[in-house]
Structure 1
Amino acid sequence: MDCQTAATQFFSHDDETTEPGRGDEIPVEIGYALLSAGSLGAVVFATIAGSAAVWHLPPMFERFLLVTGAWAAGALAVGHATAGETEKPQINWGF
């Protein structure tokens, strides 16, 4: 075996992470997870605490809606961002 063949075998990887562009997918997936989690949190907060801004409610009830909306939005956003990706089903087309 010559030096060039040995070097080629040493430095070649059959790993999935060495595919071109794979390194760019991970930051995009993280960004998408954070953006979708933030959007989910904003919608949940607006849904629960929005009534406090629309109607004139007693101060104690307004505070309850704001705290409940913030807690629910935060819990759902964190749960959504950290849920991770599940295994995608493989389809056998029979070809």
Structure 2
Amino acid sequence: MDYSLPAQRVIRLLAQLVERYGKPERLRSDNGPEFISQALQDWCKDHTVDLCWIEPGKPTQNAYIERFNGTFRREVLDAHVFSSIKQVRQIVDG
């Protein structure tokens, strides 16, 4: 949980996930700036990971994540009044 997720942070997290779980064949994402950045495209190319973006305005192409985001928003974020990002992290980490 954070205020933003810049491309370099996405890349660091992906590197950690690859180390723990292995490399995926592809990543599917929306068209957020962190996912369309040249840095992420270069990382995917260097790691032979196919980067697939959903079409703008077509969230159903990424329905699993859209459902997760909606559920998380309703059941966690909307269920609490947070006073800090630290508090959000504590509740999410449970």
TM-score (norm 1): 0.25
Larger % of strand: which?
A: 2
Compare CA radii of gyration and give the structure with the larger one.
Answer: 1
More helix by share: 1
